[in-house]
Structure 1
């Protein structure tokens, strides 16, 4: 029996098994088996070079955004509108057959936007070049999931399920579970909170399914068996996602208003160029990029060429982005902006920066 047949058999068994106290251990083991087979399907063992096949697009710019969706939802039109790259757009499906990169120049940052071929149902099992599309999506900093507003929530649910099947978790944070495999000592289980979804027996059964008999597991949150499986697998990617509903010119204003109020959603019309500015603003927010301006002693700040860094960056990251030798001679920095209590404030190398801060670095004599 092949991997696809085994996955189908387990999925059918999960679907027909009633969820109650008596079956929760059985379901936990089935989910662990399913995750194991899906990992094997995504990363086939065998000839060298098979693992992680993709479109091999070189990463460039300050951040990478993957544009995914079903065929003919307007991905290529959006890429052509937001960037200077022309992606062929037509009224038939599968117009785009490979990954087309473009660059959005926004607020001084270069954001790489990847127009990926349309995904079809069953992409996680390799249908319609789905495996290559997903391999590229895993390397992105943000996923923009484009759906046709006239198709309702069906496309969104199907795409989310396909990405979930290959270990991409959208708009979720890493589970609060500490897991470390050991060479001896058996399974040590502990929890810092009351657990309502799993217990020690289920944890042991799931670990045994993975042939793990010596490990330390600490639950810091009330997590589910699915989240435990994610932690054990260790290959899950947690990333933000914006749901972009295109073709709003084809539905009523009441429907547009309803969709616009869904969490992490943006409504646009690529053909009529409606609401694209708000989409760029939301993309910037989700990427958590910072613009840091530099200042030389006795001169005004240089607002023409900001240093672009990721959220949570410190003065040390600013120094490295200017030149790697600066940290060795760093004495202190003067910072103006939202990250300080007063302007200018003298700070050390571990001070966390905010967007649009101005920094002057003072070196040792």
Structure 2
């Protein structure tokens, strides 16, 4: 029996099993088995099969956005309109057969936008070019799911299922769990909060299913069984996601208003160039980038070439972005802007100082 058949068998058994206190341990074990088979399917042990490889597109720029959707929702049109890249578009499905990169230049940042081939149902099992699409999506800093505003919400649900099946968690934070393997000593279990969605027995059952008999587990938030399995497997990717509904020129204003009010959502029309500037603003916000300007001693700040970094970046990351030789010879830095305690005046800071958007940094070496 192949892996796909085994997975189908487990899914059928889970569907037949009633969810109650008596069956939750059994369900926990089935979920753990299913997660293990999915990992084997997407990342086969034999490297020659290449099942988990993505498209060969080099990551470039300050961030990467992956465009995902079913065929003919307007991904290629969006790429052509927001970047200087021509992606083939047509009224029939599966026009794009490989990943096509483009670059959005915004606020001094270069953001790579990847137009991925249309996903079909069953992509997680390798249908179409599903494995390559989702494997490339794992390398993105933001996933943009393009949807057709004229179709039902079923398209959104199906895409979420496909991405969830390959370990991509949309708009979620990694659960606050500390898991550490040991050589001996058995299982040490600690929970700092009351667990209402799972319990210690279920977690110990899952650990036994993975043949983990010596480890430390500390749980610091009220998690579900699935979230514990995610941490145990360790290859889950937590990615922000923006749902973009295209073709809003074909639906009523009431429908547009209803869709636009949903969380993590933007509404556009590629055909009529509606709301594309706002979409790029939303992408920037969801990427969580900050711009930092550099300043040489005795000179004005260089406002034409900012360093683009993730929110929470430190002066050390700024140094590494400029040149790796700066950190070993670092003495101190002067920072002007929102992160300075003496704003608008400069603050003398160390490598672990966290910079904020539009800060000016001057680095002094030994």
The alignment partner of 1:280 has SS state of: helix
The Cα offsets for residues 120-162 of structure 1, whole Å up to 9 and x where unpaired, read as 1100000011001111001111100001111132111110010
> How far apart are the structure 1 equivalents of 2:236 and 2:329?
39
* CA shift in 2, pair 1:51/1:214, >3 Å: farther
Distance in 2 (alpha carbons) for counterparts of 1:202 and 1:310: 37
RMSD (Å), alpha carbons = 1.2
Q: Return 182-191 or 92-101, whichever deviates more.
A: 182-191
Q: CA deviation digits over 1:158-188, x for unaligned, max 9?
A: 1001000010000000011111122221111
User: Is the aligned partner of 1:321 residue 2:351?
Assistant: no
Q: Partner residue of 1:190?
A: 190
1:346 pairs with 323, 345, 348, which one?
Answer: 348
Listed as ranges, the gaps of 5+ residues in structure 1 are none
* Offset of residue 331 of structure 1: 2.3
Q: CA deviation at 1:260?
A: 0.6
How many aligned residue pairs are there? 364
- Does residue 310 in structure 1 map to residue 310 in structure 2? yes
Go from structure 1 to structure 2 and tell me whether the alpha carbon gap of 1:245 and 1:357 turns closer, same or farther (over 3 Å shift). Answer: same
Structure 1 window deviating more from structure 2 (243-252 vs 303-312): it is 303-312
**Cα deviation, residue 51, structure 1:** 4.8
Secondary structure of the corresponding residue to residue 55 of structure 1: coil
- Give the match for residue 131 of structure 1: 131
Q: Within 1, Cα distance between the matches of 2:351 and 2:232?
A: 36
Offset at 1:222?
Answer: 1.0
Shift of 1:247: 0.5
Partners of 1:333 and 1:53 lie apart in 2 by 42
Alignment-derived partner of residue 102 in structure 1: 102
CA contact (8 A) 1:45 1:51 kept: no
- Is this contact kept in 1: 2:28–2:206, CA < 8 A? yes
Which residues of 2 match residues 246-285 of structure 1 at below 5 A? 246-285=246-285
Matches within 5 A, 1:132-151: 132-151=132-151
Match of 1:355 in 2: 357
Following superposition, which runs of at least 4 residues in structure 1 exceed 6 angstroms of deviation?
none
Distance 1:278 1:91 in 2: 26
Partner of 2:111: 111
Counterpart-to-counterpart distance in 2, 1:317 and 1:184: 38
Q: Quick one: distance in 1 between partners of 2:296 and 2:290?
A: 20
Q: How far apart in 1 are the matches of 2:228 and 2:120?
A: 29
3-state SS of paired residue (2:102): strand
- The gaps in structure 2 that reach 5 residues or longer are none
Q: Secondary structure at the match of 2:61?
A: coil
Q: Distance in 1 between matches of 2:53 and 2:86?
A: 25
Q: Is the 8 A contact 2:149 2:245 kept in 1?
A: yes
TM-score, length basis structure 2 = 0.97
Give 1:49 deviation, angstroms: 5.4
Supply the distance in 2 between the matched residues of 1:301 and 1:218 (Cα, whole angstroms).
47
Q: SS of the counterpart of 2:163?
A: helix
